[in-house]
Amino acid sequence: MANTVRGLLPAQQATLDAIRTPAEHRPAYPAGFANELRNDAESALNRLVDAARNIDSRGLWVAKRDLAGVFGCEARYVADADMPFEWSVPTARGTVLHKAVELSTHRRFEPEDAVDAALERLVADDDNLGGFLAEASDGERADLTANCVALLARFGETFPPMQRAWRPAAEVRARARLCGGAFVLNGKYDLTLGSPSPLGGPDRLQRAGKVIIDLKTGSRTPTDPEDLRFYALVETLSVGVPPLGVGSFYVAEGRIEHETVTAEVLNSALRRTIDGIGRLISLRTDRREPRRVPGPPCRWCPISVDCGPGQEWLSDPDD
Ligand code: SF4
């Protein structure tokens, strides 16, 4: 990413300062770095290959929400997975905003026009969300548009305008297959800026250059940093070069929490992912009661009415 952009608002400048790293300070990794990480992952996961294939012969797909689920309240994770998902104005808001940001990375739009174009594109996709949007009442559609226009305007005032040289990309799908496809680490980045570049030399060094950003339209959650470290791991295993940094951008706050990616960050993400895969498999095969871990998520839990520990926590959340 280029380091200078003229005429930024203070919040835009703060965001840019948080995510930019001068080229000479960016880490470079030898060409074999990602392979070593892959070997470590596959050595640790080999013992779980049969169990994973028994769950799904096409491979066990693992996303950030699966890991957050098994490291949080397992009972809620299982209940959420069993609930049929229904689109609504609040659940559609993030996807519409991401689409509007995606369209805005390649062309200058006023927020209203970007949101209108995003809605049009999503309806044309003809999937579940497209069906919901096509059949939404005038009130729901106006509510969704107003919400997303406000968020996009906020985003525009607090995130630096996209520069073509940054190579912005939105809604980027990424996958890393491990152990011959027995495990598939799956990610979808809301936004990426920059790209790695080869430096050459005897080690065929690769200089990190990409920043992966999650756009958050809701509140902060304790797993946000771990979610992004998982994405750093997926990126390294799939592209072969670690990203330069990862960050959660909280749209309502207009603030980014950025972390520089290092070998230690990736090793920590790898250990958590291996541990989480073991927990996922145990949860699906051990025929045991899912653990209940009361806490703030009880407030939005679909089974809280019938959950003793949850009701106890909800009756006195400060205790
Ligand atoms: S109410 Fe709380 S403890 Fe109970 S299942 Fe839901 S999140 Fe877990």
Pocket test for ligand 1, best of 293, 299, 312 (most atoms within 8 A of CB): 293
- In three-state secondary structure terms, 277 is helix
- CA distances for 85 relative to 82, 91, 284, 291, 306, angstroms: 9, 10, 21, 23, 20
Distance 300 CA to ligand 1 centre (A): 9
* Residues 126-177: tens digit of each pLDDT: 789 999 999 999 999 999 999 999 999 999 999 999 888 899 998 899 999 9
- Asked if 171 contacts 96 with a C-beta cutoff of 8 angstroms, the reply is no
pLDDT band at 247, cuts 50/70/90? very high
Residue 118 has pLDDT above 90, yes or no: yes
Instruction: Average the pLDDT over 218-240 and give the result.
Output: 95
Distance 84 CA to ligand 1 centre (A): 18
Which amino acids bring their CB within 6 angstroms of ligand 1?
Answer: 73, 75-76, 292-294, 297-298, 301, 303-304, 307, 309-310
Residue 219 has pLDDT above 90, yes or no: no
Residue 39 has pLDDT above 70, yes or no: yes
How many C-beta atoms lie closer than 10 Å to residue 35's C-beta?
Answer: 12
Kindly give the residue spans of alpha helices, DSSP state H, lying in 85-211.
Answer: 89-104, 111-124, 128-135, 138-158
Measured from the Cα of 79, ligand 1's closest atom is: 5
Instruction: Average the pLDDT over 117-121 and give the result.
Output: 95
- pLDDT for the residue 131: 94
- pLDDT for the residue 83: 87
Residue 40 has pLDDT above 80, yes or no: yes
- pLDDT for the residue 133: 95
- CA distances for 189 relative to 45, 168, 196, 240, 268, angstroms: 25, 12, 16, 17, 20
Residue 222 has pLDDT above 80, yes or no: yes
Domain boundaries, the chain: 10-84+166-285, 89-158
pLDDT band at 204, cuts 50/70/90? confident
How many C-beta atoms lie closer than 10 Å to residue 254's C-beta?
Answer: 18
Residue 201 has pLDDT above 60, yes or no: yes
- CA atoms of 12 and 165, how far apart (whole Å): 17
How many C-beta atoms lie closer than 10 Å to residue 234's C-beta?
Answer: 26
- In three-state secondary structure terms, 295 is coil
- pLDDT for the residue 149: 97
Distance 292 CA to ligand 1 centre (A): 6
- CA atoms of 102 and 110, how far apart (whole Å): 13
* Residues 57-111: tens digit of each pLDDT: 999 999 999 999 999 999 999 999 988 888 999 999 999 999 999 898 888 889 9
Q: Which two tokens stand for residue 222?
A: 């304790």
pLDDT band at 286, cuts 50/70/90? confident
- pLDDT for the residue 316: 85
- Asked if 118 contacts 100 with a C-beta cutoff of 8 angstroms, the reply is yes
Q: What is the largest CA-CA distance in the chain?
A: 63
